[in-house]
């Protein structure tokens, strides 16, 4: 490109190109995960995060009128709500900070870009309670430092500016194994940092004018385990049209349009149509919806303010009579269910997978189960949807996975009408212990302190299989081996599930432990589980042994000792 500045239209193209490049490399990035487990999901999490924003950017672009403010809102809010896993949340925070640095400008220059890079890094570091070097944060910081250096030197060539940043960031990425011994031991660079590099490289290629297919496929835009809030215009145009009127307008707000209001409005639009795009700013909201009754969308929107720039197109004139058959009654019949239980003081949300473990949580009084875990990290929006469904003044969230805690914290920061308390449970057994220790007669603050104190007394071990050869924690691992993974690393490796599980438990045990709980997964028979319990009872006769059906995938056994 000839210009050395970047306008909103170009920025949208660069962002979509970066998203597409990340999506194309996601499986390769997944394989960079340190532990050779079948749930290496950094690439998947980062892709789902950026694609959540890419859907909104693509839809905004298709609506024609695009400006930097609207684009930045789409990138920031889309990635924020779609963020999954630690890497996805950090990526969303990088985007959030970056967009804060550029949203006030119609044209982005190199000095503006350098400042935005610094704002991105500052925002991402603040989002992590204990930032660790040798990660995506370090790679982003390296890029930011180089950007500032180049801007201060007076560089004016935007293409070369981007190229130099990528070269430096790649150098930092290659150094990550020296910063984190676990990376060096596994022989890989940081997977999150590699994901960020693919975004930068994709954007750079687009700036250089390389031919890139920016079409968002269904596979890349769908969110595992959650309802899509975005739209792929081109794909839907080629598909069978269910809703005939393309309806667009702008709401000139006369009341606060916060995150909950936005979610409620989107939920209503989903009940009467599809291809939903709602891009909110401080004063205006851009709306796009395909519906069979534009009047319903308009009537709802009028509750929030006056309307302007209204446009309604009939997308299938040949079926005009059919388009008017959908009545208001039919529309409301599919309206998103909202929690209608009486308001209570305290509620619980837990992330869980496996019908047995789900039932355990429900039996302990958990109000809402978010299906997910190792192979499917719930997004921030999944958390927000769950919070909306629990009719309580205070809600405890149990992430039950270290890779979900940041998404829960991010959801907590977005909720204003309820008190959200995230208990940083890293495993299912910790989550169960937290709920068990809840005392209704104690205050929310006292319960929070008690639960946080109790979960640290729970040791967890999980048995799964290796997806590749590697050497880690002093153990040689072959593809197909079974592994017992503890809170701090791999405890046992072998070719027999029972032996690996027993060795793992042995490594977990200490003299003061009194209870061993075993949850067997979907691939383990009750008979085999009973055999294991008998062996554990014989070896640890002074402990109480509990065996329960968990039904979890991927992990043959989850064991807790406390």
Q: Which backbone phi and psi does 236 adopt, to 5 degrees?
A: -70, -30
| Matching fold, domains 8-221 and 240-333 | no
d(CA 105, CA 554): 48
What is the band of 31 on the pLDDT scale with cuts at 50, 70, 90? confident
DSSP labels for 164-204?
HHHHHHHHHHHHHHHH-HHHHHHT---HHHHHHHHHHHHHH
Q: Which comes out higher in pLDDT, residue 304 or 143?
A: 143
Topology of the domain comprising 240-333: Alpha-Beta Plaits (3.30.70)
DSSP labels for 497-562?
HHHHHHHHHHHH--TT--EEEEEE-TTS-HHHHHHHHHHHHHH-TTSEEEEEE---SS-SEEEEE-
What is the band of 329 on the pLDDT scale with cuts at 50, 70, 90? very low
Mean pLDDT for the stretch of residues 208-222: 65
The domain segmentation of the chain, as residue ranges, is 8-221, 240-333, 344-455, 459-561
**Architecture of domain 344-455 in CATH?**
3-Layer(aba) Sandwich (3.40)
Helix, strand, or coil (residue 347): strand
Q: Which comes out higher in pLDDT, residue 387 or 246?
A: 387
CATH dotted code for 459-561: 3.30.1180
Q: Which comes out higher in pLDDT, residue 61 or 45?
A: 45
Predicted pLDDT of residue 238: 35
Q: Is the pLDDT of residue 211 over 50?
A: yes
Render pLDDT for 517-555 as a digit per residue (tens, 0 to 9).
999 999 999 999 999 999 999 999 888 899 999 998 889
Range in 96-105, 267-276, 358-367, 516-525 the model is least confident about: 267-276
Q: Is the pLDDT of residue 332 over 50?
A: no
Strand order in the sheet with 557-561: 490-494, 482-485, 459-465, 557-561, 515-520, 544-549
Mean pLDDT for the stretch of residues 140-169: 96
Range in 25-29, 56-60, 77-81, 282-286 the model is least confident about: 282-286
Predicted pLDDT of residue 130: 80
d(CA 444, CA 441): 9
Render pLDDT for 249-262 as a digit per residue (tens, 0 to 9).
888 888 777 767 87
Q: Is the pLDDT of residue 227 over 90?
A: no
Q: Is the pLDDT of residue 353 over 70?
A: yes
Q: Is the pLDDT of residue 80 over 50?
A: yes
Are β-strands 392-398 and 419-422 bridged in parallel, bridged antiparallel, or unpaired? parallel
Q: According to the per-residue pLDDT averaged within each range, which of 23-32, 197-206, 224-233 is highest?
A: 197-206
CATH superfamily of 8-221: DhaL domain (1.25.40.340)
What is the band of 510 on the pLDDT scale with cuts at 50, 70, 90? confident
């Amino acid at each position: 490109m000839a210009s050395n500045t970047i306008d909103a239209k170009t920025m949208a193209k660069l962002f979509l190109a970066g998203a597409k490049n990340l999506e194309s490399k996601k499986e390769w990035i997944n394989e960079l995960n340190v532990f050779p487990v079948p749930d290496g999901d950094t690439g998947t999490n980062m892709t789902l995060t950026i694609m959540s924003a890419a859907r909104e950017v693509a839809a905004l672009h298709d609506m024609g009128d695009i400006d930097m403010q609207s684009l930045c809102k789409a990138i920031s809010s889309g990635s924020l709500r779609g963020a999954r896993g630690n890497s996805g949340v950090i990526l969303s925070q990088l985007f959030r900070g970056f967009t804060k640095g550029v949203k006030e400008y119609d044209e982005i220059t190199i000095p503006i870009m350098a400042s935005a890079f610094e704002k991105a890094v500052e925002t991402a570091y603040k989002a992590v309670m204990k930032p660790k070097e040798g990660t995506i944060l370090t790679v982003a910081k390296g890029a930011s430092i180089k950007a500032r250096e180049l801007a201060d030197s007076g560089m004016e060539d935007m293409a070369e500016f981007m190229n130099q940043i990528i070269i430096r960031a790649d150098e930092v990425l290659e150094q990550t194994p020296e910063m984190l011994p676990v990376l060096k031991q596994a022989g890989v660079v940081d997977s999150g940092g590699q994901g960020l590099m693919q975004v930068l490289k994709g954007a750079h290629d687009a700036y250089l004018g390389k031919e890139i297919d920016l079409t968002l496929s269904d596979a890349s835009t769908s969110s595992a385990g959650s309802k899509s809030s975005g739209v792929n215009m081109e794909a839907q145009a080629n598909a069978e049209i269910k809703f005939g009127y393309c309806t667009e307008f702008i709401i000139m707000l006369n009341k606060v349009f916060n995150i909950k209001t936005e979610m409620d409005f989107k939920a209503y639009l989903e009940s009467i149509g599809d291809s939903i795009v709602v891009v909110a700013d401080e004063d205006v909201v851009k709306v796009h919806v395909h519906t069979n009754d534009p009047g319903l969308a308009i009537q709802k929107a009028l509750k929030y303010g006056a309307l302007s720039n209204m446009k309604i197109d009939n997308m299938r004139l040949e079926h005009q009579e059919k388009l008017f058959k959908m009545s208001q009654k039919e529309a409301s019949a599919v309206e998103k269910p909202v929690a209608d239980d009486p308001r209570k003081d305290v509620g619980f949300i837990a992330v869980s997978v496996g019908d047995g473990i789900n039932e355990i949580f429900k039996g302990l009084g958990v109000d809402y189960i978010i299906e997910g875990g190792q192979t499917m990290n719930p997004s921030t929006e999944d958390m927000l949807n769950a919070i909306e469904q629990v009719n309580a003044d205070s809600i405890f969230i149990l992430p039950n996975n270290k890779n979900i805690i940041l998404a829960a914290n991010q959801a907590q920061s977005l909720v204003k009408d309820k008190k959200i308390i995230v208990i940083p449970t890293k495993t299912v057994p910790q989550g169960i212990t937290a709920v068990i220790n809840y005392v209704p007669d104690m205050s929310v603050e006292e319960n929070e302190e008690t639960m946080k104190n109790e979960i640290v007394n729970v040791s967890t071990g999980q048995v799964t299989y290796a997806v590749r050869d590697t050497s880690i924690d002093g153990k040689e691992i072959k593809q197909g081996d079974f592994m017992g993974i503890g809170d701090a690393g791999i405890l046992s490796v072998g070719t027999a599930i029972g032996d690996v599980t027993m060795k793992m438990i042995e490594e977990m045990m200490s003299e003061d432990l009194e209870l061993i709980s075993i949850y067997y997964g979907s691939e383990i028979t009750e008979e085999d589980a009973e055999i294991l319990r008998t062996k554990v009872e014989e070896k640890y006769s002074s402990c109480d042994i509990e065996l329960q059906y968990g039904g979890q995938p991927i992990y043959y056994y989850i064991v807790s000792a406390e």
